[in-house]
């Protein structure tokens, strides 16, 4: 599902114009990004959490040059779904 699909689905369910829904979805994503850039986690009860994970410094390999490189410590954004979300997906999606 793409962002356009999400906008269409919300518009169909609520009757709100697609332009308004698009602006709302963009504002939501922008707000989450800004919060994570500032180092704040975002918690959405019943859905999940957008969190910042810290990665430690580690040694990697450049295979093409056969050399060792140091990958510095860094932070990455991550999403952790809520237990209800995980259970709902487990119950409905069959492999």
- What is the average pLDDT across 17-21? 96
- Summarize pLDDT for 28-84 with one digit per residue, the tens: 999 999 999 999 999 999 999 999 999 999 999 989 998 999 999 999 999 999 999
Structural domain tally of the chain?
2
Specify whether 35 is located in the same domain as 57. no
Specify whether 61 is located in the same domain as 89. yes
pTM for this predicted structure: 0.79
Q: In the predicted model, is pLDDT for residue 95 greater than 90? A: no
42-44 and 74-81 beta bridge pairing: unpaired
d(CA 5, CA 1): 6
Inter-residue contact 48 to 80 (CB < 8 Å): yes
How many C-beta atoms lie closer than 10 Å to residue 33's C-beta?
13
Instruction: Determine, yes or no, domain membership for 47.
Output: no
């Amino acid at each position: 599902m793409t962002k356009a699909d999400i906008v269409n689905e919300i518009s169909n369910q609520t009757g709100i114009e697609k332009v308004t829904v698009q602006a709302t979805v963009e504002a939501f994503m922008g707000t989450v990004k800004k919060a994570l850039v500032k180092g704040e986690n975002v918690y959405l009860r019943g859905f999940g959490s957008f969190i910042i994970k810290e990665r430690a410094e580690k040694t990697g390999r450049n295979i093409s040059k056969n050399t060792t490189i140091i990958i510095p410590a860094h932070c990455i954004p991550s999403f952790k779904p809520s237990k209800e979300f995980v259970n709902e997906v487990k119950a409905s999606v069959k492999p």
